[in-house]
Amino acid sequence: MPALVELHGVSKSFGSVRAINDVSICLDAGEAVGIVGPNGAGKTTLLNVIAGSLRADHGRVVFDGRDITRLPSHHHCRTGIARTFQIPRPFAGLTAYENVLVAVTYGSGGSQEDAHTACVTALEQVRLLAKANTLAGSLTLLERKRLELARAVATGPRVLLLDEIAGGLTEPEVHEVVAAVQDLRARGISIVWIEHIVHALLRVVDRLVALAAGRKLIEGEPQAVIDSSELRDVYLGSEL
């Protein structure tokens, strides 16, 4: 059975800078894959290529057996790929419910009745339903992270791309976010998660991919990747 998401030799440059270089990764249905690496490794660029907000210069992005490399980001979303952003930027003057409604209206294209149900369900799934009528601008950072999840989940994704969803949170808040991600995965959503808080990744993912200077450095069982000399050298230098 083919993987749900396949990246074949994907490269992306910005001028003379090669942000990702000949990267191949696959994601099976129901699987969770973590992506680690130092700043500038190309992690967010890779996520943007999968989401369709950036178009690969070379290589292919395949979703459920279909080449979607050249298709726009809204098509990626409506076919089942949703993402969150590292820094939540909700519409501050809209309520949490209205923020999710915008996402589901433009991200899934369903009926008005379906949109309402999707909003309520998504807010409930990320444990934010009690704040549905609260202005997004007054939410705490943890609540805004939950809102990011709700906006993505409301579109009905088969694949959820997470960009440092735990970043900036306290340790107890990180545990809450991990629990929310575990709940979403239990509902059958496949996950690609970029995160610097390694213990959060290790509680969720089946496999880790390490990037360095735009290339895939190592891939495998999560703890083995974390313990690898290759990853240690990238972060600390070979002399250490």
Residue 35 has pLDDT above 50, yes or no: yes
For residue 237, the model assigns a pLDDT of: 65
Confidence band of 107 (pLDDT split at 50, 70, 90): confident
Residue 96 and residue 120: Cα distance in Å, rounded?
Answer: 10
Nearest partner of 69 among 57, 85, 83, judged by Cα: 57
Q: Which pLDDT score, from 0 to 100, does residue 239 have? A: 47
Per-residue model confidence (pLDDT) at position 106: 86
Average pLDDT over residues 120-127: 95
> What is the per-residue pLDDT for 118?
93
Indicate the pairing of strand 190-194 with strand 32-36.
Answer: parallel
Instruction: Map residue 21 onto helix, strand or coil.
Output: strand
Which residues, at least 6 apart from 229, have a Cβ–Cβ distance to it below 8 Å? none
First to last CA, the chain: 43
Residue 18's DSSP bridge partners are 13
Helix (H, G, I), strand (E, B), or coil: what is residue 37?
coil
Determine what percent of the chain is predicted with pLDDT higher than 70.
96
Task: Judge whether 153 and 160 are in contact, CB under 8 Å.
Answer: yes
When computed from its CA atoms, the radius of gyration of the chain, rounded to whole angstroms, is 18
The greatest distance separating any two alpha carbons of the chain, rounded to the nearest whole angstrom, comes to: 61
Query: What are the tens digits of pLDDT across the range 6-21?
Result: 999 999 999 999 999 9
What mean pLDDT is reported for the chain? 93
What pLDDT band is residue 199 in, cutting at 50, 70 and 90? very high
Report the alpha-carbon distance of residue 228 to residue 232 in Å, rounded.
6
Could you tell me the domains of the chain? Answer: 1-80+159-166+173-240 (3.40.50.300), 88-156 (no CATH)
CB 88 within 8 A of CB 142: no
Q: What is the pLDDT of residue 240?
A: 42
Cβ-based neighbour number of residue 211 at 10 Å = 26
